[in-house]
Structure 1
Amino acid sequence: MSAEHPEYATFGLAPAIRAGGVLANGDYQVHRDFVDFIVDGRPLLFRLSDLDAVSPLASDVPPAIFTAQVRGLLLESDAPLTGGRYVIYGCPECEDLACGAVTAVIERDGDDYVWRDFAWQTREEADLELNGYHGIGPFRFRGDAYRDALGSLLTETPDESASRRVLLIGARVAVLARLAAALRTIGIGADITQDAAAVPADELRAYGAVAFGRAVDEERRTAVRRSFERAGVDVAYVDGLAPIIPLLVAQIENALDRSPPERRRLVRLVAADGAAGVEVTSTCRVRLTAYRLDRLYRPRTQEIFDGTLPAGRHRIALDSKAVKGESFIVARSSGSVLVETMAR
């Protein structure tokens, strides 16, 4: 086929997250669950280098808006932007086009759907010469597969509760309260309890993860696990590494990410011998942060790396002062968070 009639690409959808967190500078990054576009078996977002964005198919938008977005992609309504352009990825914090968005023309060609002329857009008109993604697309999708994939979203109710609520169990109520507040700030629901045995099964099904404080003994942990097993709930269990709020938030974000490795950008973190080993599947920005408790049990935080890494494995030297004693390393990309204890 010619460039004017490109070969067919496969089209699919898959759950994805924009990982939230408490950053080293004290800022908060909101957690977002969304449906990503899978083109030729790979998330389309990964082709866009280091882009912190989500698709318009987010689970936390009102159902009517979610449905309108799907019908727009099916070309059942007029394009929201001039030139037949649709937002493919937008700002994860707001819906303002001024923040920037990846847009593309979506059109019908017979029974096929074509996505072309991808661009970074910050105003009503797109400047393809200045801001076009010239190496991406056009993509031609078979109409039946395209409609089936998007149409399935109209028959399913997006369920954010099971992936975005966490049950916190521990002895230090003050730490749990601060942790719950931080999680709620970034868009993750959090509840505190000392005993899950009396919680009704329907309520247990609302949780995607359970986080245990270090003081929770094995007997209590076992009892909690049995409560969830009886309710038929498959949750992720988090063993809190230290009473450091940003570190605990990162652990919980990692636990809530159930996506397979091939759908992640950040897939490996090793911390040992004064260095961190990081593996990424596509070019992206990676931040490494060290956390530790000093002799007076005060939390210490140091950002030790912030840069764009190409696909592959990388070794990053760590500041010895940042990782002395019992310390922990958090690696973060826009869609993934990994946590490791610094090995001695």
Structure 2
Amino acid sequence: MAAEYATFGLATAIRAGGVLADGDYQVHRDFVDFIVDGRSLLFRLSDLDAVSPLASDVPPAIFTAQVRSLLLETDAPLPGGRYVIYGCPECADLACGAVTAVILRDGDDFVWRDFAWQTGEQADLEFNGYHGIGPYRFPGAEYRAALAALLDGDRTARTPRRVLLIGARVALLARLAAALRTIGIGADITQDAGAVPADELRTYGAVAFGSAVGDEQRAAVRRALADAGVDVPHVDGIAPIVPLLVAQIEHALDDGPAGRRRLTRLTATGAAADVEVTSPCRVRLTAYRLDRLHRTRTHEVFDGVLSPGVHRVALDAGTVKGESYLVARAPGSVLVTAVTQGKPG
């Protein structure tokens, strides 16, 4: 198949971390994604939880080596001229599986072809090839300029992975901070943002308020941030449930445009949830509720692959009765909503 010309670009992306319903953790990763003809290449690969090799948390020398590899300034890391395009977000081990492709020069152009899912040294295109993906021919000047910008220090201005936590419930904030740090997000606790140096305030990608924080204290925090020249999302904690708060903060840290998110809408009533996705992907819905003794009850209510569009998922009334919340997760996206006790519209 002849490779047709396509545009090549880069954009910041995240793999949202979180505290899962079974108590396990999912690591947060910031990375640079590949944009082909204006659309994330990752989104063309349905139900794939992966990140590119251009991750923000890799050492600078390794990051530079990855960029130079994609520019074909070094030998291919895998036999047959194959390069890792997306890999495991937890460990980056090839044994976990990776999307690979052949990258070669054709005149001044760069061609990506023969995409495959690979778990060993050799790729089996017949059984594990992505036959509907590529080949893509990228104009050399455009391709080199995009990647060279990363070598000049521009990793596409990613948002800092630190959160400032403000609230009255110290024990809850401590548990929340510990959970965030476990998944790779820095978290600090304060009662007075005005006492935090401006240079330090500029390192935060979001500010989270507990429900007990009053208007006067919120206004003081906003003034301190404005004086420091900081413009970041403010998260209003909706319930004292750590996995729920983690999901809210993960959503706030995702500053990418809606068109580059797999989850774009989530609403829920006591009878059903409506969830909208932009590309085929696995979606997991988890319900959280506080019982009469303010204990957290957690239920997995859906886990399956959804096609692009809006989908209605039936909910068990007993699972989401009273004060309940719903978290939707897809590769790279997370949404949170309170459950309204009524019939779906």
Aligned to 2:213: 216
Residue 160 of structure 1 and its aligned partner are, at CA, apart by: 8.5
How far, CA to CA, are the matches of 2:182 and 2:155 in structure 1? 21
**Are 1:37 and 2:25 an aligned pair?**
no
Aligned to 1:99: 96
Aligned to 2:285: 288
Alignment of 1:298-317 (within 5 A): 298-317=295-314
Amino acid paired to 1:78: D
Q: Secondary structure at the match of 2:224?
A: helix
11, 16, 37: which one pairs with 2:13?
A: 16
Distance 1:334-1:58 versus aligned 2 partners, 3 A rule:
same
Does structure 1 conserve the Cα–Cα contact (< 8 Å) formed by 2:98 and 2:118?
A: yes
Distance 1:94-1:172 versus aligned 2 partners, 3 A rule:
same
Distance 1:160-1:243 versus aligned 2 partners, 3 A rule:
farther
Count matched residues: 341
Q: Secondary structure at the match of 2:66?
A: helix
Residue 44 of structure 1 and its aligned partner are, at CA, apart by: 0.2
227, 234, 239: which one pairs with 2:224?
A: 227
Q: Which moved more, 1:150-159 or 1:190-199?
A: 150-159
Consecutive unaligned residues of structure 1, counting only runs of 5 or more, are none
Aligned to 1:68: 65
Residue 238 of structure 1 and its aligned partner are, at CA, apart by: 0.5
Work out the percentage of aligned pairs sharing the same amino acid.
77
Deviations 1:125-164 (CA, angstroms, capped at 9, x unpaired): 1111111111111000000000000111111254888431
How far, CA to CA, are the matches of 1:330 and 1:83 in structure 2? 42
143, 146, 154: which one pairs with 1:146?
A: 143
Which consecutive aligned stretches of 4+ in structure 1 deviate over 3 angstroms post-superposition?
A: 157-162
**Are 1:117 and 2:121 an aligned pair?**
no
Aligned to 2:261: 264
Residue 272 of structure 1 and its aligned partner are, at CA, apart by: 2.2
Amino acid paired to 1:25: D
Residue 96 of structure 1 and its aligned partner are, at CA, apart by: 1.1
TM-score for the superposition, normalised by structure 1: 0.97
126, 131, 144: which one pairs with 1:129?
A: 126
Does structure 2 conserve the Cα–Cα contact (< 8 Å) formed by 1:59 and 1:159?
A: no
Does structure 1 conserve the Cα–Cα contact (< 8 Å) formed by 2:68 and 2:74?
A: yes
Deviations 1:249-292 (CA, angstroms, capped at 9, x unpaired): 00000111101011011111011252110000010000111111
Distance 1:160-1:91 versus aligned 2 partners, 3 A rule:
farther
Aligned to 2:315: 318
Consecutive unaligned residues of structure 2, counting only runs of 5 or more, are none
**Are 1:274 and 2:271 an aligned pair?**
yes
Aligned to 1:190: 187
Does structure 1 conserve the Cα–Cα contact (< 8 Å) formed by 2:12 and 2:31?
A: yes
Distance 1:158-1:7 versus aligned 2 partners, 3 A rule:
closer
Q: Secondary structure at the match of 2:6?
A: coil
How far, CA to CA, are the matches of 2:225 and 2:302 in structure 1? 39
Instruction: Indicate the RMSD between aligned Cα atoms, in angstroms.
Output: 1.1
Q: Secondary structure at the match of 1:221?
A: helix
Residue 21 of structure 1 and its aligned partner are, at CA, apart by: 0.2
How far, CA to CA, are the matches of 2:191 and 2:176 in structure 1? 15
TM-score for the superposition, normalised by structure 2: 0.97
